[in-house]
Amino acid sequence: MFNGTFVVMAIVLLVNFKIMVNQYEHTWISHFWIWGSMLWFYAFFGAESMGYLPSELQGMLPLMMTFTSTYLLLILMIAGFLLVDHGMLLLENWYDSKIEMQDRI
């Protein structure tokens, strides 16, 4: 029904939020590229959906944005992946500290 547009939307948002969370220093350039890429996705998706660009996606954006499940799934996917990523980072730091303690002994 949606030709994979939800998956593409989830990937775009997930990758950008992952970059945002994992980056320690943010400059105006990084914010420009992160938020700009998300806005460009929605701009092109909207242009295809409204018929400004020839596409099979006509009428998809307004339809997808009316579903509550779209928002719930996006939040679930992004939060789930970011929590796992953050947990792996904490586990890696804990493991590195244990190795350093073993080297000191």
Q: What is the pLDDT of residue 1?
A: 47
Q: What is the pLDDT of residue 102?
A: 85
Q: Integer distance in angstroms from the first to the last C-alpha of the chain?
A: 61
Q: What is the mean pLDDT of each run of 10 residues along the chain (105 residues)?
A: 77 90 85 94 88 80 86 90 88 91 81
pTM: 0.73
Q: How far apart are the C-alpha atoms of 69 and 66, rounded to whole Å?
A: 9
Q: What is the pLDDT of residue 32?
A: 94
φ, ψ for residue 70 (rounded to 5)? Answer: -60, -50
Q: How far apart are the C-alpha atoms of 58 and 50, rounded to whole Å?
A: 6
Instruction: Return the domain boundaries, the chain.
Output: 5-104
